[in-house]
Amino acid sequence: MTSDGLRSRLKAEGLRLTPQRELVLAAVDRLGHATPEEVLAEVRQSSESLNLSTVYRTLDVLEHVGLIRHAHLSDRVATYHSVGGPEHFHAICRKCERVRSVDVSVAADFADRLRTELGFVADVGHLTIFGECEVCE
Amino acid sequence: MTSDGLRSRLKAEGLRLTPQRELVLAAVDRLGHATPEEVLAEVRQSSESLNLSTVYRTLDVLEHVGLIRHAHLSDRVATYHSVGGPEHFHAICRKCERVRSVDVSVAADFADRLRTELGFVADVGHLTIFGECEVCE
DNA sequence: CTCCCTGCAAATAGTTTGCACAATA
DNA sequence: TATTGTGCAAACTATTTGCAGGGAG
């Protein structure tokens, strides 16, 4: 995501481009899946100018304008990842804690079934499914 | 769930049957899907003898012995429900907030696919999927 | 009579908010 | 220069823990 892309997305909502918003977006891009604390730590590698509450507010803004998404990979904290790669959901092993990113196409038939049988349109990209590896690595 | 069922499940783990454990299990049964706070409130209708931290500890114990399960029906709190009815997962509409309990059979093919394609055994009963009703009620 | 369980209060983790100042457009 | 955004500190929500007394077995 370029700065210009970020700027235009923000502008469309009457929001401003700030250094903090650029830094947070870049950190989420680099980290893959990151909690707010992890984003803060990553940004602080290169700059002191960021506060945790700003991280929370900025993650909300970036999600609002559609540049990042969040998932619940643990019972405690949300993790954020940038939008741009293939849309995926998460499968997490309770034994080895491995997090798999699974392409949404794997859930396409399931989603169809929810729609036709229940009239429910699933947000597959937000899905996190817990379970166990048949054989952990 | 009878007191004797509860007693024997606890005994198998070297745990004791207490009034609090009976009260919490009964409350979860009555409430369907309930947060720890809701369980506390329900029990306090009939008895003063229960503390919130005991509710948390008791819900853990009851889940450990397999009498209840939890799901994440909101980003905030876990809700507990008794095991005994048909095993189900949850689908939640972000617009009307309706919570549907869906029989796990609807996800059987999806679970098969995760197992054969990824070697991942999903805990379908723990699944919560967010989305929207095609037409909200 | 032993050890598990509970209540209470305090600690902790994660997140949100009010406010004054700073910076963008 | 008019808002919007940020930092800071404090508040808040959900949950966990230490400890001393109480109760199940």
Kindly give the interhelix angle for B19-31 and B52-64, rounded to the nearest 10 degrees: 80
User: Distance of alpha carbon A88 from its chain centroid, rounded?
Assistant: 10
- Residue A37: CB atoms within 10 A of its CB come to 11
Q: Integer distance in angstroms from CA A50 to C1' D8?
A: 12
Q: How far is CA B36 from CA A59, B94, B114, B135, in A?
A: 29, 23, 32, 32
- What is the rounded CA–CA span in Å between residue B58 and residue A51? 38
Please, what sign has the CA dihedral across residues B124, B125, B127, B132?
positive
Q: How confident is the model at residue B8 (pLDDT cuts 50, 70, 90)?
A: very high
Mutation test of the interface with chain A: which of B70, B101, B120, choosing the one with the most A Cβ atoms within 10 A? B120
Residue B25 CB contacts under 8 Å (≥ 6 apart), including other chains: B1, B6, B62, B67, B68, B82
Q: Is the pLDDT of residue A64 over 80?
A: yes
**Helix, coil or strand: residue B94:** coil
Tell whether B28 is within 8 A of chain A (Cβ). no
Closest Cα in chain B to A109: B110
Cβ contacts below 8 Å, chain A against chain B, sum to 94
- Within B12-137, residue ranges assigned H as helices are 19-31, 36-44, 52-64, 108-118
pLDDT tens per residue across span B57-95: 999 999 999 999 999 998 889 999 999 889 999 999 999
pLDDT tens per residue across span A2-56: 556 899 999 999 999 999 999 999 999 999 999 999 999 999 998 888 999 999 9
Tell whether B107 is within 8 A of chain A (Cβ). yes
Tell whether A133 is within 8 A of chain B (Cβ). yes
Closest Cα in chain A to B98: A120
This prediction has a pTM of: 0.92
